[in-house]
Amino acid sequence: MLEIPFYTQVEKSSKGFFAFAIILILFFSGISFTFVIPGLKGFDLFFMIFTLFMYFMVANIFVGLFKARLWFVLMICLLVSSLGMGWRIWLEWGEFSLVEHMNLAVYVGYPIVISLIITGFYSFISSMSGKRTK
C-alpha cells in the first residue's frame, strides 16, 4: 500500500527493517493485549486503532522483505507475538491489573489473532502491490 521507493529501501537495508518489525511486534503484543480486547478491563479504542496501524506498518515491511512467503510471515508473527505476550506476563506476574486477562482464551487466542491480522494485511498489501507493478 506504500509507494515502490519504500519497498526498495526495505530491500536495501533488510536487516534493519526486519529488526524494527520484530521489535514492533514484540513490544506491541506485550503492551497491547490489556488494551485492545473489547469487553475486558482497560479497553481503549484509540490504542486498538493505533495498534492496528502499527501492525499494518509491520505488514508493509514484510511485503518489502518477503515475496510470496505467507506461511513464513504467519509463523514469525506467531512466534514473536507469543514471546512478547509471555514477556509481559512474566514481568507482571501476580499484578492485580492482569487478573482479568489471565485465562486460556487470552493466552492462546491473542497471539493467534495478531498473527492472522498481520498475515491478512500482508496478503492484501502484497496482492495490491502486485497488481500495481504489472
Binning pLDDT at 50, 70 and 90, where does residue 134 land?
Answer: very low
pLDDT, tens digit, 9 for 90 and up, residues 12-42: 989 999 999 999 999 998 888 777 777 777 7
The position carrying cell 491489573 is 97
More confident residue, 130 or 113: 113
Return d(Cα 126, Cα 85) in angstroms, integer.
27
Mean pLDDT for the stretch of residues 72-91? 89
Contact in structure between 31 and 89 (CB atoms under 8 Å)? no
Q: How much is the pTM?
A: 0.86
H or E element: which one contains 46? helix 45-65
